[in-house]
Amino acid sequence: MSLTPNKNVFITCAVTGSGSSQDRSHLVPRSPEEIANSAIDAARAGAAIVHCHVRDPDTGVPSRKLEYYREVTDRIRASDVDVVLNLTAGMGGDLVFGGGENPLPPNDEFTDLVGPAERVAHIAECLPEICTLDCGTMNFAEADYVATNTPGMLREMGRLMTSLGVKAEIEAFDTGHLWFAKKLVEEGILDDPALVQLCMGIPWGAPDDLNTFMAMVNNVPQSWTFSAFSISRNQMPFVAAAMLAGGNVRVGLEDNLWLEKGVLATNAQLVERAATIVTNLGSNVIGPQQVRELLNLQKRAPGTSTGGS
């Protein structure tokens, strides 16, 4: 990968995520209407792409309900703001073991493990321009939780995404995930050139020191497009790091709740700050139509779906 600063940068806003952040900030959107409105505000602030999960409107707990995704999608597409829609396909891979000396059976209360078709059912329903593909199984911070993405699952999910005409955004949490992503492209399951999101600083994936980050960047094929982010206090430093390394950037409440110490952020505020960093470093923030041309995406019309109303 050539280490030339990216002069035309797109910003992705990760709007709400699938963690328990709704209990730590009242500004994390919960309902489909709140998520859509926050995504629209982020687009107005300069985000070319909005990356959306959905939550239960009452509790804020992450959800996979098709009707929530449909409402978010319809509201965004019906708005007067153009933005590229990126829906998660990371849900449905949660495996929580029993713990201690009794790992089996898994903890049924927290395990949410379903097959590839169900994991992308909302993608088939809503037909976003982009959806995520987490390219590896990973231990996260919780003691007995494993984000489960086997090679077999990923191959089938990738085939489904490609058959639907939805661009997979490869989520790489470590170098091995990039290794497997290259295999998916080599096998013709994902299109070449591919789109990659380098996910830094998430326990227990790739740490967000610059040496590790550059190892990740150097494992991205020259022809691919990549974006990168880190979490919490390192979100904004990684805006600079990503663009200086030749990539694009991601910010948003999925990854960081704070605008500054003691000040909770909105998605639009985080996007505005990222755009300021990009322009202050001498690059341009590009919009959704330029992203479509870069990634060969086809804009979806309001109401586009393979099912539903």
Model pLDDT for residues 117-137, shown as the tens digit of each residue: 999 999 999 999 999 999 999
Q: What is the CATH number of the domain that holds 183?
A: 3.20.20.70
In a domain, 1, yes or no: no
Number of domains in the chain: 1
Q: Is 192 left (phi over 0), alpha (psi -120 to 50) or beta?
A: beta
In a domain, 309, yes or no: no
**21, two tokens:** 């952040």
pLDDT at 219 > cutoff 50: yes
As a whole number, the mean pLDDT across the chain is: 94
Amino acid occupying residue 169 = E
In a domain, 302, yes or no: no
Specify the pLDDT at position 308: 41
Model pLDDT for residues 51-65, shown as the tens digit of each residue: 999 999 999 999 999
- Cβ neighbours of residue 11 under 8 Å, at least 6 residues apart? 46, 47, 48, 49, 248, 249, 250, 251, 271, 274, 275, 278, 285
In a domain, 303, yes or no: no
- Cβ neighbours of residue 32 under 8 Å, at least 6 residues apart? 54, 57, 68, 71, 72, 75
Written as one string, the DSSP assignment of 129-179 is: SEEEEE-S-EE-SSTTEEE---HHHHHHHHHHHHHTT-EEEEEESSHHHHH
In a domain, 24, yes or no: yes
Model pTM score: 0.94
pLDDT at 307 > cutoff 70: no
In a domain, 283, yes or no: yes
Q: What percent of the chain has pLDDT over 90?
A: 87
pLDDT at 148 > cutoff 50: yes
Q: Which domain holds residue 273?
A: 8-295
Specify the pLDDT at position 305: 59
In a domain, 300, yes or no: no
Strands 284-285 and 263-264: unpaired
Task: Report how far residue 210's alpha carbon sits from residue 212's, in angstroms, rounded to the nearest whole number.
Answer: 5
Q: How confident is the model at residue 306 (pLDDT cuts 50, 70, 90)?
A: low
DSSP SS3 for 4 = coil
In a domain, 146, yes or no: yes
Give the per-residue SS3 of 57-76: CCCCCEECCHHHHHHHHHHH
